Amino acid sequence: MAQSYDVIVIGSGPGGYIAAIRASQLGLKVAVVEREHLAGICSNWGCIPTKALLRSADVMHTATHAKDYGLTLEGTIKPDVKAIVDRSRGIAHRMNNGVGFLFKKNKVDIIWGEAKLSKPGEIVVSKTTKKPVEPIGPIPKNTLGEGTYTAKHIIIATGARPRALPGIEPDGKLIWTYFEAMKPEEMPKSLLVMGSGAIGIEFASFYRTMGVEVTVVEIMSQVMPVEDADISALAKKQFERQGMKILLEAKVAKVVKGANSVTATIELKDGKTQEITADRMISAVGVQANIEGIGLEAVGVKTDRGFIVIDGYGKTNVPGLYAIGDVAGPPLLAHKAEHEAVICVEKIAGLPNVHPIDKLKIPGCTYCNPQVASVGLTEAKAKAEGRDIRVGRFPFVANGKAIALGEDQGLVKTIFDKKTGELIGAHMVGAEVTELIQGFVVAMNLETTEEELMHTIFPHPTISETMKESVLDAYGRALNA
């Protein structure tokens, strides 16, 4: 007989492992199916190990600017590529092991293999054919394997993978995805980055700080196209000041591979073309959901533009079947997947007062130098919706802590509904803004007005004071600018 569970989760990334743990906490019998490595792309190849690389870049940047802080460092400062990569991969292994520990602690069964829906409430698990880019860790002991399993509720959390453009497919040697970009054997002298979203611009920032000649090609009219135009413009200025070359409204039309380089033909906005030769190229043109081969067609799951269609609680059109995280559509963020996981499981368990996710209150962070963070509507989107708004701006150059840190290039921008005083958007660029943005996220969730923010005391001296000053500026009351 098939082994039965209350909940089976397919995939152990940020959405999958959080769903499994929360379900176990609520007294449900749970299993997770994984075909490659525990903790998913985020912990093994995305969010966490990339931040380890960027931390090395931060230290490199500070060390090479030591004299700005009255310090003298002897000798030449240069990156040790193997040590940087080894540190990052070691952190990935630690995260992988951590999820395995959490499953054991919470009595979550691990089924190792590839899951396929055979009918509603049933999956068939076969031996995995997926070869990891790199073995992250051993398969945990006491795992289950091939066979048929049933569950009252099945949650699909299979994530996403890098998207490839026809004719410019990554080959792992000359044209990289984020997999290869995270573990170079040596630093290239030059790098072409196709796409300036979070993945592309983070790698561009890392490699440029390490001394690589970097060119970014973006088809849209601004870097980081989803961000507010003012924030994007200031970030671009800083990138270019660091020596990064950025081509906007440009398209990589063709790539010719050499023995140890690529030559790309770039179509520019004026119709002209330009050839760029670089040692390596990163394809960062987005990701696509892993919806193939898991039996969606067999049970009639509805999809749209490559993503599984769900309601606000993760339910698909098939009773007892749910989807969360990247496979369920944008924004493709780990923290969105985790929150969807909790909502989905709590709804399954019948908890009262479970609220659907509000995507306008999901923060986005890019860990480049300078950092970028945002939540809510941009100024352009607010105006497009016909909102009557007040906009506040406050620069880091007028903040004492930022000046003391030598990090005075930044901006905080806030957007309020003029009629109600509701905060509907907040956007930041500068040092540590990925840590600051949560203050505005909390404010938006509490439906905080401008008056309440104005009466909040911010500690001095901190960069966080720029947040309050931006609110004051929206109402013509800024005190330090």
Provide the annotated active-site residues: 460
- Amino acid identity of residue 391, one-letter, is V
Name the residue with tokens 């066979």. Answer: 147
Number of C-beta neighbours around residue 116 at 10 A: 17
398 secondary structure, DSSP code: G
Strand partners, 192: 215, 281
Helix, strand or coil for residue 98?
helix
**How far is residue 395's CA from residue 390's CA, in Å, rounded to a whole number?**
17
d(CA 467, CA 111): 47
Q: Identify which of 362, 358, 460 has the alpha carbon closest to the alpha carbon of residue 402.
A: 460
Cα 397 off chain centre by: 28
Both tokens of 469, joined, read: 């000053």
Contacts of residue 198, defined as CB under 8 A and 6 or more positions apart, other chains included, come to: 224, 364, 365, 366
CA dist 31 and 10 (Å) reads 9
Q: How far apart are CA 206 and CA 419, in angstroms?
A: 43
Q: Sign of the CA dihedral 190, 195, 196, 200?
A: negative
Show the tokens assigned to 217: 């090609």
Residue 33 has a CB neighbour count (10 Å cut-off) of 27
Alpha-carbon distance values, 285 to 60, 145, 198 (Å): 28, 35, 10
Dihedral pair phi/psi, residue 46, rounded to 5°: -125, -110
Give which of 63, 46, 56, 43 is closest to 85, Cα–Cα. 56
CA 209 – CA 79 distance, rounded (Å): 10
Q: Tally Cβ neighbours within 10 Å of residue 191.
A: 25
Alpha-carbon distance of 141 to 8, in angstroms, equals 19
Distance in Å from the first CA to the final CA of the chain: 72
Cα gap 452→444, rounded to integer Å = 12
